[in-house]
């Protein structure tokens, strides 16, 4: 690793992705997201040894959206262990993130924790053991990043709530099967806020470093997940982290990853580093066009992936 000039690689990537502006669309199904200026690109790499490399808009906070599903799953898995899998599966869905269809044949059991239905179940689990899941989640990401200024974007959360009928439908449908235990409005208040967490690429790459480090936060030595659980979390990111494009992401990038409709994508190289990329324009599956391009170039130039 030492002989690789990571800063030079990031600078090259930032130039090479420029021609891809205009090839996707900023998420517009939630009005507060539609207002984000399209021509922005940031990338941040955190190494286990504490070094950080950034380029572009790496310190601009954005709505992390579904990337939050990694944090909530970690919190639930840490507390409940394999109990989690009684209520949510571990198979790629091959369907859009907000799809309802599979829930009918599975009796309200979501295919995995990274589609919306699965994330609702995970947040419902957090409500089982946390008096204030919103506050706990905030404390968790602030601890991981050492950034006390991270907060929820209240406008995005409210916009999600106003335009959240699909999520309401998913949650009520699962509740009818007994797989949501709490009041749907209270559950979705947690879910809409987790989507509205506002973090930068630098925050995100820092925050996920423990997953590249056998579950241990490098800066504090705190063990968040044991080695086996940390590995399992990463395997779920690989198979399910990019919805119906998980296969495409494994094919082009080759890392455990997670995306969000705010335009962020995070990835990890176990034993080495975590990386976060952000650019708001999305492809049809809801994944950032420039972030995909950047990560494909990143693993190609490094010559390292999990394969
Ligand atoms: O409608 C929602 O549930 C979103 N705010 C979900 C977020 C998300 O990032 C899903 N996909 N990429």
Q: Give yes or no for residue 93 having a pLDDT over 90.
A: no
Please report, for the domain that includes residue 13, its CATH number.
Answer: 3.40.710.10
Residue 175 main-chain phi, psi, to 5 deg:
-65, -35
9 CA to middle of ligand 1, Å? 30
Closest ligand 1 atom to Cα of 66? 9
* Residues involved in catalysis: 66, 69, 191, 243, 261
Nearest atom in ligand 1 to the alpha carbon of residue 285 is: 12
66 annotated as belonging to a binding site for a ligand: yes
Q: Is residue 22 part of a domain?
A: yes
Strand partners, 56: 42
| Edge-first strand listing for the sheet containing 273-278 | 52-56, 42-47, 273-278, 264-269, 257-259
Percent of the chain with pLDDT over 70: 99
Write down the pTM of the prediction.
0.97
What pLDDT is stored for residue 220 in this prediction?
96
Q: What is the pLDDT of residues 69-79, one digit of tens each?
A: 999 999 999 99
> pLDDT digit string (tens) for 206-253?
999 999 999 999 999 999 999 999 999 999 999 999 988 999 999 999
Q: What is the mean pLDDT of residues 176-189?
A: 98
Residue 161: predicted pLDDT: 97
What percent of the chain clears pLDDT 90, i.e. is strictly above it?
A: 93
Pocket of ligand 1, beta carbon within 6 A = 65-66, 97-98, 116, 160, 167, 195, 259-261, 286
Domain annotation covers residue 21: yes
* pLDDT at residue 3, rounded to an integer: 76
Q: What is the 295 CA–ligand 1 centroid distance (Å)?
A: 21
**Which own/partner pairs from 169-178 qualify as long-range (CB within 8 Å, at least 24 positions apart)?**
169/100, 170/98, 170/100, 170/103, 170/116, 170/117, 170/120, 171/120, 173/100, 173/103, 173/108, 174/103, 174/108, 174/110, 174/117, 174/120, 174/121, 176/108, 177/103, 177/107, 177/108, 177/109, 178/108
Q: Cα Rg for the chain, rounded, in angstroms? A: 18
Query: CA separation (Å) from 126 to 66, 87, 117, 159, 208?
Result: 16, 13, 15, 23, 20
pLDDT digits (tens, 9 = 90+) for 251-304: 999 999 999 999 999 999 999 999 999 999 999 989 999 999 999 999 999 999
In a domain, 307, yes or no: no
Query: How many domains, in total, are found in the chain?
Result: 1
Residue 76 lies in a domain: yes
Asked whether residue 191 is marked as a ligand-binding residue, the answer is yes
Structural domain of 146:
6-302
CA of 97 to the centre of ligand 1 (A): 7
Question: CA geometry: angle at 238 spanning 292 and 128, to 5°?
Answer: 115
Q: Is the pLDDT of residue 2 over 80?
A: no
CA 260 to ligand 1 center in whole angstroms: 6
pLDDT grade for 98, boundaries at 50, 70 and 90: confident
| Closest ligand 1 atom number to CA of residue 164 | 1
Q: For 126, list phi and psi in degrees, rounded to 5.
A: -60, -35
- For residue 213, being part of any structural domain is answered with yes
């Amino acid at each position: 690793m030492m002989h690789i000039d990571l800063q030079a690689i990031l600078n090259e990537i930032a130039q090479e992705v420029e021609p891809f502006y205009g090839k996707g669309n900023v998420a517009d199904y939630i009005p507060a997201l539609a207002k984000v200026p399209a021509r922005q690109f940031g990338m941040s790499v955190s190494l286990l040894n504490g070094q950080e490399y950034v380029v572009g808009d790496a310190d601009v906070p954005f709505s992390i959206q579904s990337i939050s599903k990694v944090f909530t799953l970690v919190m639930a898995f840490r507390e409940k262990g394999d109990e989690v899998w009684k209520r949510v599966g571990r198979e790629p869905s091959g369907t859009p993130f907000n799809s309802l269809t599979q829930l009918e044949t599975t009796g309200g059991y979501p295919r995995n924790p990274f589609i919306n239905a699965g994330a609702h179940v995970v947040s419902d689990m957090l409500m089982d053991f946390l008096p204030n899941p919103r506050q706990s989640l905030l404390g968790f990401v602030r601890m991981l990043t050492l950034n006390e200024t991270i907060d929820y974007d209240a406008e995005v959360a409210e916009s999600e709530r106003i335009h959240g009928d699909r999520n309401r439908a998913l949650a009520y449908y699962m509740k009818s099967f007994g797989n949501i235990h709490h009041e749907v409005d209270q559950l979705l208040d947690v879910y809409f806020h987790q989507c509205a967490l506002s973090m930068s690429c630098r925050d995100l790459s820092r925050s996920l470093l423990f997953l590249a480090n056998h579950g241990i936060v490098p800066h504090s030595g705190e063990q968040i997940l044991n080695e086996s659980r940390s590995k399992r979390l990463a395997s779920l990111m690989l198979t399910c982290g990019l919805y119906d494009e998980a296969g495409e992401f494994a094919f082009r990038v080759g890392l455990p990853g997670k995306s969000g409709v705010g335009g962020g994508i995070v990835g990890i190289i176990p034993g080495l580093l975590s990386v976060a990329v952000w650019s708001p324009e999305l492809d049809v599956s809801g994944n950032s066009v420039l972030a995909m391009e950047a990560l494909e170039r990143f693993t190609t130039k490094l010559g390292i992936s999990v394969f």
